[in-house]
A and B are shown apart, each in its own frame.
Chain A
Amino acid sequence: MRTADLLGKFLQIGLGLAVFAAIIGLILFFIDKAPKRGRDYWQLVGFLAPAMIFLVIGLVYPALRTSVLAFQTNNGDWTFDNFVWAFTQPAALRTLLNTVIWVAIVPLFSTAVGLAYAVFIDKSRGERYYKVILFMPIAISFVGAGIIWRFVYEYRSAGRDQIGLLNALVVAAGGDPVQWLQTDPLNTFLLIVVMIWIQTGFAMVLLSAAIKGVPTEQLEAAQLDGTNPWQRFWNVTVPGIRGSLVVVLTTISIATLKVFDIVRTMTAGNFNTSVVANEMFTQAFRASEVGRGSALALILFLLVAPIVIYNVNVLRKQREIR
């Protein structure tokens, strides 16, 4: 990297921030100086408009446009072919099936392990450090996680020293090394492991906080009634954290539906491991099949929608109470 390049980059950062600060400063300045009549109106516009413009350009308009593109050929003629393709071609069907498998497994596993861990370490010595260990993958990018796990799954032909941990264990147990990431359908599950590895910490932190919100009196009362720990967990703790459980499950489900980087980094969607989010990218930006890509994006939208609508309803109720 030459010094000039470096200078150019810092110049961009500085300039970008300066221009942005100037715009915001001007907005705040002018709404203060607006004529008395209609000042309220201008103030509202000043505060709200920048974000709203961004949202319309970045999300509202694109979402509508993608919905239209999904029903068009590359030449702009109306068609259903993109959806026919998505629901009939074996490769596309496999993508849909994989996505379903991902969403069925990741949230359940992450939440279950995260919950068990949160309960086990609750009030134990060094709880904080235990938490950090499990939570750390959250800070690692999916690409980084992909590399970490590709290394675990690395394959060397039989007879050579294995450098991938998993194959080393298999060989030590007397087996033959396996090309994990190329073995269908095992590879999909091995990719899922990576997502579980990342999301479990998230589930653990949220559920741990919720567990601490369960009143101690209830647990003690249950204990006086002669219940064992398992009964107390199942009949007192779990009902007490139901809200958090739902939140964790829905959040991880949404994240899983949109997962892209892991598949991209580890197999690039080859060997029957592709998922909707990855295939969408491949179709729209690699194969120039914008219609197909858009159809897949629309399908993804329809999959996410019920989960978010549920959350919107909860939110509406909360605001009505207020």
Chain B
Amino acid sequence: MSIAPADLPIGKDGDSFQEAAEGATSASPEVVGTKAARVKKRLTSRTATIVSLIIAILWTIPTFGLLVSSFRPAELVRNTGWWTIFENPGFTLDNYADVLFSTSSSAPQLGAFIINSIAIALVGTVIPLVLATMAAYAFAWIKFPGSNVLFIIVFALQIVPLQMALVPLLQFFSTFLRPIQVWIHDVIPIIPEQNYLPVWLAHSMFALPLAIFLLHNFISEIPNDIIEAARVDGATHSQIFLRVILPLATPAIASFAIFQFIWVWNDLLVALIFSGGTADVAPLTQRLAEMVGSRGQEWERLTAGAFISMLIPLAVFFGLQRYFVRGLLAGSTKG
């Protein structure tokens, strides 16, 4: 998923956004109480409810079908529709065991790729966030000539589609990064030559424009008094950054971290180009895409594999939904 930025600062609005996003059921009492609200409700409710129910069902069925199928025996998945599960009952965990743990050479062996996905998403989130927070602080609180112009240039880099960066960056990596990777392998033989470095760096580079922009919006909203007070006490920029900015900006950093994590986890393009496609490095998405290409008919495996790949982003999504939504809204305007 690629969400381009838009043009509104986060800041204090974040809280109202959050409430709006999660607690809308408890619309404030005075609204519910007014006659207007009651009338509105009566007029719109029936058709609206039916239509929204239909939309909700349409949106759920495809995923639900996949989930049901992933627990059905191979024979049944291939020959009967998942909606006939009551006529053709059968329930098994074999599909999951097969794609995860089977060591036969024809099995997908997803275990290794899960670790890769975690490795890539974890470091691919930490690096850009730290660098972006530092840059955002510089743009917001260190005065220098050309600050505005440079900031707008950074923002405008969104204009560069990933596709434009791929060929030259790959050449750059093979010239300059490759020797380093080989050296690392020589020093610590347990780390394969084909290591995560290029994928981490690529993800970090591509995430920066949006991350700097969003975090800057938040960090620049921190009240001047707080920063000024710290300066008067003789704090250096590093101290202000670590002791004042980081704690205060934690909500914004957290919401972007979730966002970036899910983005990197779900990425296919960057992985395809920079990973080399081996079990040493390639993430789950790449392995799944391969399975679709070579074994598009093995539905029992594809359904289980797809669900495994969704597990972590969905867990992050449901667990941290309010922060996730907030991160999303940070990039949007209120109207």
| Partner-contacting stretch, out of A88-96, A184-192, A247-255 | A247-255
Which A28-56 residues sit within 8 Å CB-CB of chain B? 28-29, 31-32, 40, 43-44, 46-48, 50-52, 54-55
A106 interface residue (CB < 8 Å to B): no
The answer to whether A63 touches B160 (Cβ under 8 A) is yes
Asked if A258 meets B115 with Cβ closer than 8 Å, knowing A121-B52, A210-B334, the reply is no
**List of B residues within 8 angstroms of A243 by Cβ:** 333-335
Q: How many residues of B contact A (CB 8 A)?
A: 150
Segment at the A interface, from B90-98, B119-127, B223-231: B119-127
Residue of A nearest to B88 (CB): A161
A86 at the interface (CB under 8 A from B): no
- CB neighbours (8 Å) of A62 from chain B are 160, 164-169, 172
Residues on the A chain within 8 Å of B55, using CB: 113, 116-117, 134
**A-B interface contact total, Cβ < 8 Å:** 434
- The dominant DSSP class at the B interface is helix
B82 contacts A163, CB within 8 Å? yes
List the A side residues contacting B333 at CB < 8 Å: 210, 243-244, 247
Task: Find out whether the CB atom of B266 lies under 8 angstroms from the CB atom of A205.
Answer: no
Given contacts A5-B112, A50-B134, A205-B325, contact A148 B335 (CB under 8 A): no
CA distance A172 to B51 in the complex (A): 24
* Chain B minimum-CB-distance residue to A48: B138
Q: How far is the CA of A7 from the CA of B127 in the complex (A)?
A: 22
Establish whether residues A51 and B148, one from each chain, have CB atoms under 8 Å apart when the complex forms: no
Q: How far is it, in angstroms, between the C-alpha of A243 and the C-alpha of B7 when the chains are bound?
A: 10
Cβ of B174 < 8 Å from any Cβ of A?
A: no
CB neighbours (8 Å) of A250 from chain B are 4, 6
B161 at the interface (CB under 8 A from A): yes
A157 within 8 A of B: no
| A152 at interface, CB cutoff 8 A | yes
Q: Tell me the dominant secondary structure on chain A's binding face.
A: helix
**A293 vs B51: C-alpha distance in the bound complex, in angstroms?**
44
Q: Is A173 an interface residue (CB 8 A)?
A: no
In the bound complex, what is the Cα–Cα distance between A145 and B242 (angstroms)? 40
The verdict on B40 contacting chain A, using a C-beta distance below 8 Å, is yes
Interface centre among B5, B200, B265, by most chain A C-beta atoms within 10 angstroms, is B5
The proximity string for B residues 112-149 relative to A, scoring 1 for CB distances below 8 Å and 0 otherwise, is: 10011011001100110011101101110010100010
**With A and B bound together, what is the CA distance between A190 and B309 in angstroms?**
23
B237 is an interface residue with CB less than 8 A from chain A: yes
B179: Cβ under 8 A from any A Cβ: no
**A200: Cβ under 8 A from any B Cβ:** yes
C-alpha spacing A265/B302, complex, angstroms? 12
| B269 nearest in chain A by CB position | A260
Question: Does B34 contact A220, Cβ atoms closer than 8 Å?
Answer: yes
The reply to whether A223 and B288 contact each other, CB–CB distance below 8 Å, is no
Q: How far is the CB of B237 from chain A (nearest CB, A)?
A: 5
Q: Of the candidates B159, B266, B299, which one forms a contact with A304 in the assembled complex, judged by CB atoms under 8 Å apart?
A: B159
Whether B237 lies near A31 (C-beta < 8 A) is yes
Contact between B172 and A51, CB atoms less than 8 A apart? no
Please determine whether B7 and A314 come into contact, CB atoms closer than 8 angstroms: yes
User: Quick check: is B232 within 8 A (CB to CB) of the other chain?
Assistant: no
Q: How far is the CB of B121 from chain A (nearest CB, A)?
A: 11
Interface residues of A in 196-215 (CB under 8 A from B): 197-198, 200-202, 205-206, 208-210, 212-214
Residues of chain B contacted by A48 (CB below 8 angstroms) = 134-135, 138-139, 142
Enumerate 12 A-B pairs (CB-CB under 8 Å) in ascending A order: A16-B123, A47-B135, A51-B208, A123-B27, A124-B49, A139-B310, A143-B266, A147-B305, A150-B292, A165-B61, A247-B6, A264-B289
- Which residue numbers of B lie inside 8 Å of A, CB to CB? 1-7, 9, 17, 20-25, 27, 31-32, 34, 36-37, 39-41, 43-45, 48-49, 51-52, 55-56, 59-63, 65-66, 69, 77-84, 109, 111-112, 115-116, 118-119, 122-123, 126-127, 130-132, 134-135, 137-139, 142, 144, 148, 151-152, 154-169, 172, 188, 190-192, 195-197, 200-202, 204-206, 208-209, 212, 236-239, 241-242, 262, 265-269, 272-273, 279-280, 285, 288-289, 292-293, 296, 299, 302-303, 305-306, 309-310, 313-314, 316-318, 321, 324-325, 328-329, 331-335
Known: A1-B115, A67-B164, A123-B41. 7 other contacts (CB 8 A): A55-B154, A113-B55, A251-B5, A301-B159, A308-B158, A311-B4, A315-B155
